[in-house]
Amino acid sequence: MRIDVVSIFPQMFDAVRGSGMTRIALERKKLQLELWDPRNFCEDRYRRVDERPYGGGPGMVMQAPPLAAAIRAARSSGHGRVICLSPQGPRLTQERVRSLAGAPALVLLAGRYEGIDQRLLDKEVDEEVSIGDYVLAGGELPAMVLIEALVRYLPGVLGNAGSVEADSFSDDMLDWPHYTRPEDFEGARVPAPLLTGNHEEIRRWRLTQALGQTWLRRPDLLAQKQLNEEERQLLAAFRKQYEEQESSE
C-alpha cells in the first residue's frame, strides 16, 4: 500500500515512520509512505501557503494553488484517492478503515489554520474524514491516526493476524476485558472461565463480556447490530447479573 501525505509539517510524521507498526510495515515493504510539503510548490520567494479570507474574519486560509500542485504531484506518483482530514467529514469508523485498507494507494491532505479554500476541496478532494467531533490545530495527527488504523490491515505487519478481527469495533462491539499473569493481583483474581482451558467456555465468556461492555458503554453500537439468538441470550444473562449486583449494593 502507498500513502502520500500533503502537509506543511512533514517532520511530524517522523514519529510514525520510526515507531511501532508503521515502522515495521515500512521495513517489510508492506507500506510506502511519502510526504509532500505544499511550500515546495509555492511560486513566491516567501513560500506562503496561507492568506486572509475573503469577506473578513479571524485566522488565515490555506491557498488552493500550492495545495493543488502538491496533491497533483502526489497523485501522479500513486494515483490514490484524496482524503482530507477534517472535522467537516463523516466520523471515521472501523468499517470505513477496513474499506480504505483495500485501496492500493491513498493521498491524505492535512489542513491547517482556519481552513482550506473551498475550491481546492471541490476540485481535488474525493472525500473528507473526521476522527471525532472536536477541533485540532491541523490534520497531521488525524492523518497519523488513519495511517496506524490502516497499517493494522496490511498482511505481514501484525505478529498475530487474528488480532485485527478480535479488536474493539471489528464486530460492531467493544472488546472483552483482558488478563495476564499474575493470577492474583492485590486480591483481584482472573475470572474463573479463563483458567479452565475449555475453549467453548472461554469463547462464551468473552462474547458475553463484549456484549455487556458494549451495552454499558456504547449502547448506540448495539442499537445498530443484529444480534443472533446466542448473543441475545448472553446479553440478557449479563444484564440480569449486572442489575442484581446494582440492586444489592
Our answer to whether residue 4 is catalytic in this structure is no
Q: Domain residues of the chain, as ranges?
A: 2-151, 168-248
Our answer to whether residue 119 is catalytic in this structure is no
**Which pLDDT tens digit goes with each residue over 79-121?**
899 999 999 999 999 999 999 999 999 999 999 998 999 999 9
**Which pLDDT tens digit goes with each residue over 157-200?**
986 555 555 554 557 899 899 999 999 999 999 999 999 999 99
Our answer to whether residue 37 is catalytic in this structure is no
How far is 166 from 174, CA to CA, in rounded Å?
A: 10
pLDDT band for position 29 (cuts 50, 70, 90): very high
Catalytic one of 2, 53, 114, 239: 114
CA torsion 237→241→242→248, rounded to 10°? 160
Catalytic one of 66, 87, 117, 124: 87
Task: Determine the average pLDDT of the residues in 142-160.
Answer: 91
Q: What is the pLDDT, as a whole number, of residue 172?
A: 80
Our answer to whether residue 87 is catalytic in this structure is yes
Architecture category of domain 168-248 in CATH = Orthogonal Bundle (1.10)
Catalytic one of 152, 204, 218, 239: 152
Name the pTM for this structure. 0.85
Q: Which CATH superfamily is domain 2-151 in?
A: SPOUT methyltransferase, trefoil knot domain (3.40.1280.10)
Catalytic one of 51, 95, 127, 167: 167
Tally of helices (H runs) and strands (E runs) in the chain: 10, 10
**Which pLDDT tens digit goes with each residue over 224-240?**
899 999 999 999 999 99
How far is 217 from 177, CA to CA, in rounded Å?
A: 13
**Which pLDDT tens digit goes with each residue over 33-42?**
999 999 999 9
Any residues with CB less than 8 A from the CB of 93 and at least 6 apart, and which?
169
